[in-house]
Every structure is written in structure tokens, then in C-alpha cells.
Amino acid sequence: MEFPYLHLIVNGKGRSSAMGPTAAITTDQMVSMIDGSATATYTLIAATKQAGVIVGDTIILAMVFQATDVAGGVTFTGSYTVVGGTGRFAGAKGSGVVAGSAFLVGPSNGVGSFTLSGALSGPGE
């Protein structure tokens, strides 16, 4: 992607009330450097153990958000929709709001966090 878009790849770790210890990964986050509008598809991977083996059930989220410049980084707010899942989250549905911040700590890396608030239901619920 070229100007005026910023393409971000994110690898993060956190904790989810629905998933426990969780990895959050995106390879397609796009942010407009003109107006701060942004989109991303995040895969959340639950690192849970079953019979001593780590199983990676996933939830896939489509996010649309607005980034706002602050000193050293950005804050952002927007919405997400559950668009897929695997394992115990196969057929999951849901949506809600996303909010967070990110700050640069070098020319090609940073630190950030986000929270998701909303609903998650299984197939047929």
C-alpha cells in the first residue's frame, strides 16, 4: 500500500474473559494518514490446554475505527463484528465497540492495547 495509507502488522498478547490467555494478530491493518479512518481483520487465538496439549481456538474480528493523533502515538475507537471462528468458537456471532491506544517505541515497532466490549454468542443462539 502506498501513501496516504499506513499498513500495520500487529502481534500481541492479552487476556479475554471468553478465551483466557489470548494472542491478537493482524496482517492487514490500514490507517489513512489523511483522516485517521482505519480497518483491520484481527484473529484472536485462545491458548488453552486440553489433555496437556495447547489448542488454538480462534475468533476472527472485522474492525472499523477512527485513529486520533496524540503525543507519541494514537488513540482509537470504533466497532467490531465477529466474522468467523474455529474450534469452540466455530459459528460464533457478535459485535461491539473497540477502544485503545498505541505508541511508537522505535522506527518500526510500538506498544499498545485495546479493549473489546460487546456480545458473543455461539451458533443458533
Q: Where are the domains of the chain?
A: 5-116
Q: Which H/E stretch holds residue 74?
A: strand 73-85
pLDDT value, residue 1: 58
Residue 125 has pLDDT above 90, yes or no: no
**pLDDT tens digits, residue range 93-108?**
999 999 999 998 988 8
pLDDT top residue among 2 and 79: 79
Mean pLDDT of the residues in the chain: 91
Decide: 12 and 23 in contact? Cβ < 8 Å: yes
pTM of the predicted protein model = 0.89
Residue 120 has pLDDT above 70, yes or no: yes
**pLDDT tens digits, residue range 4-47?**
999 999 999 999 888 888 999 999 999 999 999 999 999 999 87
pLDDT value, residue 50: 65
